[in-house]
Amino acid sequence: MKRVKLFEQFLNEGKDDAMVYGIVDLLLKVKDIENRKQMAMDVIADFDAEGVEYDRNEFLDKVGIH
């Protein structure tokens, strides 16, 4: 049973990172900074509600609003 948990953890590693970077790419396409900021704050709320692992400061830096 322990092996199964470790294997599941291995498979899930990096999924959050890929999703976060994909969202960063999308947000960078929003030219209006205020709109981008509002969208980023909405995404952060969603990440927190869903338990997504990410670095908040790095996320804000990458979307250019920190």
Q: What is the pLDDT of residue 26?
A: 95
For residue 52 the two structure tokens come to 């997504």
pLDDT band at 6 (very low <50, low <70, confident <90, very high): very low
Other Cβ atoms closer than 10 A to 21: 13
For residue 52, give the DSSP letter.
Answer: -
Answer yes or no: is pLDDT of 14 > 70: no
> Amino acid letter at 62?
K
Answer yes or no: is pLDDT of 11 > 60: no
Identify the residue whose tokens are 């927190």. 48
pLDDT band at 12 (very low <50, low <70, confident <90, very high): low
Residue 59's closest CA among 22, 33, 31, 32? 22
How much is the pTM? 0.75
